[in-house]
Structure 1
Amino acid sequence: MRWNSTRIPATLVAVAALVLTLAAPAPAAVPTAAVPMAVVAGPATITGVGSGRCLEVNGGAQTSGTRVSIQDCHGGPSQAWTLTTAGELQVYNTTTCLDVAGQDVTAPAVVQIYRCHGGANQKWTLQTNGTIVGVQSGLCLDVTGRGTANGTAVAMWTCNGQTNQSWTTTLRTADTTPPTVPANPRVSNLTCNTVTFAWDASTDAVGVRFYDIYHDGQLMTSVSGSTLSTSLPVVGGAVWGLYVNARDAAGNVSQASTTVTITVPQCQTDTQPPSAPGRPTAAVSGTTVTLSWAASTDNVGVRTYEVRRGGTVVGTVTGTASAPPATTFVDSGLAANTAYSYTVVARDAAGNASAASAATSVTTGAACGTAVCGVRQVTTETDIPWGLDTLPDGSVLYTRRDAHQVVRLDPATGTKTVVGTPPNVQGTDGEGGLLGLALSPTFATDQWVYLMHTSATDNRIVRIKLVDNALVNSSLQVLVTGIPRNKYHNGGRLRFGPDGKLYAATGDAQNGDYAQNTSNLAGKVLRLNPDGSVPSDNPFGNYVWSYGHRNPQGIAFDSQGRLWEQEFGNSVMDETNLIVRGGNYGWPACEGTVGTCGTAGYVAPKRTYPTAEGSCSGIAIVRDALYVACARGARLYRAEISGSSLTNLQTFFSGTYGRLRTVEPAPGGGLWLTTTNAGDKDSIANNSNERILRVQLGG
């Protein structure tokens, strides 16, 4: 549920005020001597964005237990804060620290000054989005009740992105250099449910505060900067790529380590196959067949059903360790007036296959009566097809992500021609490289091709002319630079809007802090003029159009000129959003509808999908139907746009073609659809086995 009212109800404000007037709880036992730490920056003031007033020790007192509040800025000793290498905020001297009373980790926690002792309740992270976060609690330094008056108390509250939790200070900008890349990642003690992951320490001008551990772009856990190994939970039978990033107190994040691939063993030897599924029943609607069958049984559990048409696997229905797979499948885009025979095979987590079910034969109708009427394979690819657009003559221009090439495809013959390799493209040993592609709306006269790609230092948007079937590298213009990059979370989709502006989706570069910082180009939807200048009506005076995104990879416009966006979640859910000018979509505090999503000002998604059924990348809109291409979910979703809602959600091609990356409108009201089944988690060229498909849609 998302609230549209003020963040703190009046009763909670009263409670907070009461707490702040009570005697501070005694802190836990701490060392009796202060621990001097090296200074990063300061002394400097810390100013509240919402109030314009400075963080001050009440009355200029120097006694432990004195509260802090906001007051008119005067630059005196009670407002002069120093940041240390340990992340302490010291005032007056090296023995007095900003402190969360009693090491409280619940909101509203009292903030005071206290003798420095090195405890986690005296350590702070100055995020680049303006927040100051307590390391022990994860709560934000907050002006209570969103007050702006002199003397308003400061406490700890759940981070919510509002201006009473945003602070400006030169302490933060003193450190803009990220740590070095963690070296020598390695694993040991791999079992069916745990693995030990270790790495060598990063270095940093100030000091590493955290290490963030991922598998395949999904954050698993974060550990302290003094920790160089940790035990991680794993899933039997999974193949994961583990890596680690380093993060310092200012929120700077390193580039990712190299990837360590693990294949997790099963927890028990299982050689017993499932029982055969029941004979499928079939319902025919035009050229679409809907199958259903009785479930198989297994000594451990059925994990997947393979649907076979004429003996060839045409689809899979997959479950999880806790949820069995569904027992239905829709086979679309078949030939009219044609007989087909279907069987179903069950597999367990160990890969044991059942006997095939009894066969069912059906004959399709005379005409397509559903949304998807036919599929034709146009070509295959040995690299990842990523960005794609249709040229005025009906041919296709697309990018090869890891090979860094642009290819022209004749869909009638399947003939492919490499038209060029743009300069300065570099992979990331993950999901970077040559990404989005969009043709100028006036391509017939100006011949501009717009590209988004990863370089050695950043992600950037460029344009280059296509003349006589070749890219002219001398015409290259770099339009936008400085979009943060990392192994994963680079975003990358480009789309021209009906307003003639170019829109770009950017990932958070594996730093959720970037997503909430409207001065940073990561974790955003950007909007720019075709020449790369900033439109005068952009909400923040820069390229940022919306923010609070994790890793958006799909953007498309409907018939009303509204922008829809598709976004990868971390581990719970993906989301489809309707983008509004200046909108905050909540990441990292909110993933889909999980987290502090009720915070006032966050824009709720229009639809969410479990990551196991989603991990969706590209979207396209044809006749106000939204099509969503999903990788891990290995399916194409279709939803109808009704007002500002998405209704009548349907699923097509579940497992038929595997992981799907890009979907784009095709001439005549159809779709281009590309796969991403191999080599999509590295930057190695030509190690894939992909298809480009032409989908015929119904009326």
Structure 2
Amino acid sequence: MKIIFTFLFLFLLLQSCEKSKDNEGLPTPPALELQSEILAQSLQHPWEIVYGPDEMIWLTERSGKISRLNPNNGVVSLLHTIPEVNSIGEGGLLGMVLHPNFESNPYVYVVYDYGSGNNYQGKVVRFSYKNSTLSDPKILLDHIPAAANHNGSRLLITADEKLLITTGDAGVPSNAQQNNSLSGKILRINLDGSIPADNPFPGNAVWSTGHRNAQGLALTNDKLYSSEHGPDTDDEINLIRKGMNYGWPDVTGFCNTSQEKVFCTSKAIVEPLYTWTPTIAPSGLIYYHHDLIPQWKNSLLVVALKGTSMLQLKLDDTGTRIESVKSYFQGEFGRLRAICQSPDGKVYLATSNGNRDMVIRVSPL
């Protein structure tokens, strides 16, 4: 049964740390009336939600389950359980994306962790969908270092049909700077698992380096953004560019200490668009540009685990600067892991509390 809550939000500007100098002076946005509806509340650690072309919400749970949620009646139907999945700590079945031409290419792409001990690792697998069944798994990329945390694992397919994969440093920070390691990167492969000829490093899946634990990816027409966990400071929103270095572990946040400035100059480090200290653990990320909620047009929407909120980051016309930040649902639903949007402009959130986790629909009042 749907539980409907109505909220009138007076949004406060998030506090910024002194290190995040570019965050200063952002305006406080106006109030907005929203309605939230709990569609399902019987999940356990959902990690990804995708609004499918069948008007169902496809979701993964860390234990290995892939399901579909009917947004009209809240019924969750299990599609498939991947027996190889081993959920250790924050590892398990994580990101998922559907082929953009799903009717003619009914493929479901997932990334999950398997094995144990020193052989704990991740892989990207493509399944075929037919008659409410997933079958014919095809491994596209394997042997991604995994750990109990810092696994990244957000998937996204670009307009030119390339698959992007975020990976964390898997507890070995130095690997984020090594191009021969899949850790701490954003990777780019073809939809058949081969390496695109125009990748920045020939024969290498690496698209960008120097990431600690990027758990969100979002695309506009020509720009790619990520959300990334910092250590005890400096969670980040980054504008991702081909072949560029984002600094971890030698740089956290902006290049503003003497040691960081030297490294940033020598490695041409790209600084973040925005940072948070205290950290909020940003996870799922989308770009919103729909008339249903005009106040959110040309914005990044990011959900936070530690921060227990959804945040709107309003972009300027160039998409290279964040003009304002708003916080929604602070503490209302606990830890938020995933976010997606339906074609009619409604936004869906998934919690990650581990007990009776929820999928929530957000729309104007």
* TM-score normalised by structure 1 residue count: 0.45
Task: Tell me the amino acid that sits aligned with residue 138 of structure 2.
Answer: Q
Choose between structure 1 and 2 for higher RCO, CA contacts under 8 A separated by at least 6 residues: 2
1:670 aligns with 2:346: yes
Shift of 1:287: 6.5
Residues 180-219 of structure 1 aligned to structure 2 (within 5 Å) = none
Task: Tell me the amino acid that sits aligned with residue 324 of structure 2.
Answer: N
1:530 aligns with 2:206: no
1:464 aligns with 2:127: yes
What SS does the corresponding residue of 2:67 show, helix, strand or coil? strand
Q: Paired residue for 1:477?
A: 138
Shift of 1:677: 1.8
Distance in 1 (CA, whole Å) between partners of 2:190 and 2:56 is 26
What SS does the corresponding residue of 1:435 show, helix, strand or coil? strand
Contact 2:225 2:240 in 1 (8 A): yes
Return 5+ residue gaps in structure 1 as ranges: 1-285, 293-316, 319-368, 679-687
Corresponding residue to 1:633 among 293, 300, 307: 307
Distance in 2 (CA, whole Å) between partners of 1:370 and 1:434 is 37
Corresponding residue to 1:290 among 1, 10, 28: 10
Corresponding residue to 1:416 among 76, 85, 92: 76
What SS does the corresponding residue of 2:90 show, helix, strand or coil? coil
Distance in 2 (CA, whole Å) between partners of 1:645 and 1:580 is 15
1:650 aligns with 2:316: no
Q: Paired residue for 2:285?
A: 619
Corresponding residue to 1:427 among 70, 87, 92: 87
Contact 2:347 2:363 in 1 (8 A): yes
Shift of 1:467: 1.1
Task: Tell me the amino acid that sits aligned with residue 301 of structure 2.
Answer: Y
Cα deviations across residues 553-610 of structure 1 (Å, max 9, x unaligned)?
000102x321100000011120000000001000000111265432211100000011
Name the larger-Rg structure: 1
Q: Paired residue for 2:295?
A: none
Distance in 2 (CA, whole Å) between partners of 1:476 and 1:611 is 41
Shift of 1:289: 4.4
Corresponding residue to 1:436 among 71, 95, 104: 95
Distance in 2 (CA, whole Å) between partners of 1:667 and 1:422 is 29
Off by >3 Å, runs of 4+ in structure 1? 289-292, 369-372, 594-597
Shift of 1:611: 3.7
Q: Paired residue for 1:603?
A: 270
Task: Tell me the amino acid that sits aligned with residue 648 of structure 1.
Answer: S
Contact 2:309 2:329 in 1 (8 A): yes
* TM-score normalised by structure 2 residue count: 0.85
Shift of 1:393: 1.8
Distance in 1 (CA, whole Å) between partners of 2:269 and 2:364 is 35
Task: Tell me the amino acid that sits aligned with residue 636 of structure 1.
Answer: M
Task: Tell me the amino acid that sits aligned with residue 306 of structure 2.
Answer: R
Distance in 1 (CA, whole Å) between partners of 2:314 and 2:195 is 33
What SS does the corresponding residue of 1:597 show, helix, strand or coil? helix
Q: Paired residue for 2:230?
A: 569
Corresponding residue to 2:356 among 673, 685, 689: 689
Judging changes above 3 Å, is the alpha-carbon distance between structure 1 residues 609 and 291 closer, same or farther for their aligned structure 2 residues?
closer
What SS does the corresponding residue of 1:445 show, helix, strand or coil? coil
1:389 aligns with 2:55: no
Shift of 1:290: 3.2
Shift of 1:658: 1.2
Q: Paired residue for 1:551?
A: 213
Q: Paired residue for 2:247?
A: 586
Shift of 1:697: 5.0
Distance in 2 (CA, whole Å) between partners of 1:498 and 1:427 is 32
Task: Tell me the amino acid that sits aligned with residue 288 of structure 1.
Answer: L
Q: Paired residue for 2:110?
A: 451
Task: Tell me the amino acid that sits aligned with residue 158 of structure 2.
Answer: G
Cα deviations across residues 535-559 of structure 1 (Å, max 9, x unaligned)?
100001211000000000000102x
Cα deviations across residues 65-118 of structure 1 (Å, max 9, x unaligned)?
xxxxxxxxxxxxxxxxxxxxxxxxxxxxxxxxxxxxxxxxxxxxxxxxxxxxxx
Percentage of matched positions with identical amino acids: 33
Distance in 1 (CA, whole Å) between partners of 2:32 and 2:240 is 26
Distance in 2 (CA, whole Å) between partners of 1:533 and 1:501 is 10
Task: Tell me the amino acid that sits aligned with residue 520 of structure 1.
Answer: S
Cα deviations across residues 344-373 of structure 1 (Å, max 9, x unaligned)?
xxxxxxxxxxxxxxxxxxxxxxxxx85562
Residues 197-346 of structure 1 aligned to structure 2 (within 5 Å) = 288-290=8-10
Cα deviations across residues 369-410 of structure 1 (Å, max 9, x unaligned)?
8556221111113311112212212101100112x1100111
Distance in 2 (CA, whole Å) between partners of 1:611 and 1:527 is 31
Judging changes above 3 Å, is the alpha-carbon distance between structure 1 residues 611 and 483 closer, same or farther for their aligned structure 2 residues?
farther
Q: Paired residue for 2:21?
A: none
Task: Tell me the amino acid that sits aligned with residue 207 of structure 2.
Answer: W
Judging changes above 3 Å, is the alpha-carbon distance between structure 1 residues 640 and 289 closer, same or farther for their aligned structure 2 residues?
closer
1:379 aligns with 2:43: no
Shift of 1:447: 1.0
Task: Tell me the amino acid that sits aligned with residue 272 of structure 2.
Answer: P
Return 5+ residue gaps in structure 2 as ranges: 1-5, 16-29, 290-297
Task: Tell me the amino acid that sits aligned with residue 605 of structure 1.
Answer: P
Cα deviations across residues 41-87 of structure 1 (Å, max 9, x unaligned)?
xxxxxxxxxxxxxxxxxxxxxxxxxxxxxxxxxxxxxxxxxxxxxxx
Contact 2:122 2:145 in 1 (8 A): yes
Task: Tell me the amino acid that sits aligned with residue 531 of structure 1.
Answer: D
Task: Tell me the amino acid that sits aligned with residue 551 of structure 1.
Answer: N
What SS does the corresponding residue of 1:446 show, helix, strand or coil? coil
Cα deviations across residues 235-280 of structure 1 (Å, max 9, x unaligned)?
xxxxxxxxxxxxxxxxxxxxxxxxxxxxxxxxxxxxxxxxxxxxxx
Cα deviations across residues 508-537 of structure 1 (Å, max 9, x unaligned)?
011011100011111000111111111100
Residues 491-530 of structure 1 aligned to structure 2 (within 5 Å) = 491-530=152-191
